[in-house]
Amino acid sequence: MKFDLDQNTRKEILIAVTEKLEDYYANTKACKITPTIDVANIKNLVSQVDLINGMDNFEAIDYVTKNLKENSVHTPHPSYFGLYNPRSNYAGIIADLITAYFNPQLAAWSHAPFAVEVEAHLIAELASKFGYSTNKFDGVFATGGNEANQTAVLCALNNQYPNFNRDGIFSVSKKPIIYCSEEAHHSVHKAAKTAGLGYNSVIPIPVGNDQKLDTTILKEKIEVSTQSNHAPLMIIGTAGTTGAGIIDDLVEINNIAKEYNIWFHVDAAYGGAAALSEKLRNQLKGIELSNSITFDAHKWMSVPMGASVFITSHPNILAKTFSISTEYMPKDADKLEVVDPYCHSIQWSRRFIGLKLFLSLLFYGWKGYEETINHQADMADLLRNKLTNNGWVVLNKSNLPVVCFTDEKNKNDQNFTTQILENIYENGNSWLSVYPINNINCFRACITNYNTTESELDELIEELNIERDKYTK
């Protein structure tokens, strides 16, 4: 068949692709991190190709790899200090290749029993790491934190309203309300919107000077809701905010959730990996008390996009929320003590998401992950010290490798961070972002790469110092 190509051609293509990818993987640091943005040129690069007849196989490979290399922000670069986009570990990359070859269909247990059981085992392992009871948990792999948070909202609704799975929003007499920090990820708002609750069902709670959700204000807002035509549905605590890497007071949030009988969800998409480190685990105190957790393996566990997990301490809630019966799906699971994934999640047909985490653990083990996480935390501590010694001021208090800082003399100058970042992006040697802390625009540097060393930290600070001196002259 034409789609298969012949065996020799396949081997030649694999060799050609592998050589290009290995060269990029081995020499990522030689790349300019930030591309030159020319919208018209990039649109032309895409539109000029012949999609009717196609092109030579090897020309196609050259075309794609060349343009990805020239027109991407290189997040695998060790001097990328940006968002939670880490370099993929090699086991995860190979896992994606294996998954593409076998292409298992994880909708039904009987179609991919090994793959489904691998993911079930990983859910159990992660539930244990987060402190859930060994016989009181459930979970499912998701495409990303957005899907996992949406799953949490749907589970909270089905838990609160017995007929929600049948009558939906029409079974609700009072408007359900979701409470979260104003620093929470906006996937919470998106989840509320797609669940039919609307943006206005989300009440952002202000944070204190420590950037944590203010639990006093939270209680006040809940009291106001209960006295109106609203029904408190869930509280979302964040474990590792996108901006400053802050972990909310999960213990106190749980106490409030229990007092008002509200579903307590923890968005630990990034910071959840702290549970894998003896050094950092205590930062997540209270997460074991939650009703559910969002965790992104594609963040701090450095596997390719996207690999998220939704875990809950309610063993039956996923089935209640997503179970459905059809005539055309295999019925093998009906006679076995197993669960068909399509009855357990938003997704129906889906790929083997969990393999990239499973193979990574087979390669490196939990111990390897703990060493890597500790290394990145140590690099962040070192960066904080180096910044302070060079006259910069760190403004966030986080034990996670997220550092927000500014220059004391220029902190109120709105153009300071913008101008310096423009110069840094143009140089292409490093990449960091900007984030406001207490109304001050700060530089935000996150250690996302397990290959980042003291050398990259020194290069970043040297560049920052040079740009600061140029700006103040």
Give the tens place of pLDDT for each residue, 336-349. 567 888 888 988 88
Q: Give the whole-angstrom CA distance, residue 345 versus residue 263.
A: 19
8 A C-beta contact, residue 270 and residue 300:
yes
Place of tokens 């290009």: 20
CATH 3.90.1150.170 for domain 365-472: yes
Which of these, 413, 401, 405, 393, lies nearest to 433 by C-alpha position?
405
The reply to whether domains 104-350 and 365-472 share a CATH topology is no
Q: Is 119 helix (H, G, I), strand (E, B) or coil?
A: helix
Instruction: Please report the pLDDT score of residue 266 as a whole number.
Output: 98
- Between CA 76 and CA 63 the distance in angstroms is 20
Residues 397, 98: Cα–Cα separation, whole Å: 41
In the block, which residue shows the tokens 């357990």?
344
Say what the pLDDT of residue 38 is. 87
List pLDDT tens digits, range 161-174: 988 888 878 888 88
- Domain with residues 104-350, CATH architecture: 3-Layer(aba) Sandwich (3.40)
- Tell me how far apart the alpha carbons of residues 91 and 360 are, in angstroms, rounded to a whole number: 5
β-partners of residue 451 are none
Distance CA 229, CA 7 (A): 67
Cβ-based neighbours of 103, under 8 Å, separated by 6 or more: 351
Q: What is the pTM of this model?
A: 0.94
Could you state, in order of their start, the residue ranges of all structural domains in the chain?
Answer: 7-30+35-72, 104-350, 365-472
Pairing assessment for the beta strands 440-446 and 433-437 based on DSSP bridges: antiparallel
Residues 6 and 9: their CA atoms lie apart, in Å, by 5
Residues of the chain with pLDDT under 50: none
Cα dihedral 20, 447, 451, 427, rounded to 10, equals 60
